């Protein structure tokens, strides 16, 4: 049952279209690593319900959208398995077993849980499922015995719970799981178009992978820059400018030059933004082309079905090991 290649598991909550923050934070890494690692991409519909349990009607469209975004970003369905979390029953089984030995305090003190609880106003009263989503995410990662988990920075404390879960399980019952490693992308979190700390759908400050050329142009032209630059030759402060942070993320080679010219007041914000538009369009154009190909009727469904089948096969292998280790393989035990 040894794996031929090391394995990646990562994915997204289907809550709407993916944006450039996702692209910089994790999609780019996935695409880069897909040939080197056997890759499983989870569309985490159950995790979406940890906050959106009262709106399950959005799931079907959002699951399709997230899958299409991943494929458009460059994941190759011939070599990666994209699957739906709730359709892999072994993930639910593992969640229950893991929840027996992960303490409530560990979850309560998790930095990501604390931050997100604050964002959703759950501090005083949160559901069992929300508090426990890192346990369920440990099951997402460990059901295929993944080695590597590429994620955005915010998610590292959650991956830490998976590492602990693997370690603790192995200590308690015998070694079944590798200790999965979190891999943070080189690009720091992307700031929003409004200059807020984070590109986020709920803040309405994103460039989406599916945005048209016209939408990208409008959004970037009205993005916040250094307010001190009223005239074109006023010296600027790139370190506080949204557009400059995008140059650093997506236009690395040119960014030192832009920084210098901004400080000296030899580049105007309009020209600087226009250059940024070009850079983003170069990223989005191939994504748009692929999207058109994957929008063929029935194709997403077929890709999700194939990926989910592969995930279930891997999940049953893992459960055999888990049940053996936990003495819950009752009928196999009696035979031998």
Beta bridge partners of 151: 184
Q: Which does 141 bind (CB under 5 to 8 A by kind): ligand SF4, ligand TRP, none?
A: ligand TRP
Instruction: Quickly count: other Cβ atoms within 10 Å of residue 123's Cβ.
Output: 9
The DSSP string of 243-308 is HHHHHHHH-TTTHHHHHHHHHHT-S-HHHHHHHHHHHHHHHHHHHHHHHHHHTSTTHHHHHHHHHH
Nearer to ligand TRP, 25 or 236 (CB): 25
251 to 280, contacts with ligand SF4 by CB under 6 A?
262, 267, 269, 272-273
142 to 201, contacts with ligand TRP by CB under 6 A?
149, 151, 155
Task: With contacts defined by CB under 6 A, name the span among 11-19, 167-175, 195-203, 279-287 that binds ligand TRP.
Answer: 11-19
| 223 neighbors 280 (Cβ within 8 angstroms) | no
Using CB positions, name the residue nearest to ligand TRP: 44
Distance CA 180, CA 246 (A): 31
Nearer to ligand TRP, 90 or 155 (CB): 155
Verify binding: residue 267, ligand TRP, rule CB under 6 A: no
210 to 239, contacts with ligand SF4 by CB under 6 A?
225-226, 229, 236, 238
Residue 27: which residues within 8 A CB-CB, separation 6 or more? 18, 69, 70, 73, 74, 75
Beta bridge partners of 9: 40
In the complex, least distance from residue 194 CB atom to ligand SF4, rounded to whole angstroms = 14
Nearer to ligand TRP, 167 or 252 (CB): 167
Distance CA 163, CA 169 (A): 10
Q: Which two tokens stand for residue 135?
A: 């346990």
Among the listed residues 45, 62, 69, 140, the single contact to ligand TRP using CB under 6 A: 140
Nearer to ligand TRP, 13 or 247 (CB): 13
Binding site residues, ligand TRP, CB under 6 A:
9-13, 42, 44, 47, 137, 140-141, 149, 151, 155
């Amino acid at each position: 049952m040894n794996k031929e290649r090391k394995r990646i598991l990562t994915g997204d909550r289907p809550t709407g279209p993916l944006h450039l923050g996702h692209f910089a934070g994790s999609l780019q890494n996935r695409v880069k690593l897909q040939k080197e690692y056997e890759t499983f991409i989870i569309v985490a519909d159950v995790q979406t319900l940890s906050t959106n349990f009262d709106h399950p009607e959005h799931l079907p469209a959002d699951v399709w959208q997230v899958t299409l975004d991943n494929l458009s970003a460059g994941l190759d369905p011939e070599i990666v398995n994209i699957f739906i979390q709730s359709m892999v029953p072994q993930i639910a089984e593992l969640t229950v077993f893991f929840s027996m030995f992960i303490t409530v305090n560990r979850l309560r003190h998790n930095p990501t849980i604390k931050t997100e609880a604050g964002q959703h106003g759950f501090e005083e009263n949160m559901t069992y499922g929300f508090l426990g989503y890192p346990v369920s995410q440990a099951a997402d990662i460990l059901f295929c015995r993944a080695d590597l988990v590429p994620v955005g920075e915010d998610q590292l404390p959650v991956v830490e719970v998976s590492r602990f879960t693997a370690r603790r399980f192995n200590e308690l019952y015998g070694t079944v799981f590798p200790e999965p490693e979190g891999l943070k992308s080189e690009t720091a979190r992307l700031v929003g178009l409004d200059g807020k700390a984070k590109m986020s759908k709920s803040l309405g400050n994103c460039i989406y992978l599916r945005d048209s050329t016209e939408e990208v142009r409008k959004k970037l032209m009205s993005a916040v820059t250094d307010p001190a630059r009223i005239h074109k030759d006023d010296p600027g402060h790139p370190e506080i400018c949204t557009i400059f942070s995008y140059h650093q993320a997506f236009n690395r080679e040119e960014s030192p030059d832009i920084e210098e010219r901004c400080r000296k007041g030899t580049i105007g914000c309009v020209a600087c933004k226009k250059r940024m538009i070009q850079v983003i369009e170069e990223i989005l154009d191939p994504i748009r082309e692929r999207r058109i190909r994957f929008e063929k009727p029935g194709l997403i469904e077929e890709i999700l079905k194939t990926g989910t089948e592969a995930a279930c096969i891997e999940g049953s292998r893992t459960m055999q090991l888990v049940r053996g280790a936990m003495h819950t393989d009752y009928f196999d035990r009696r035979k031998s």
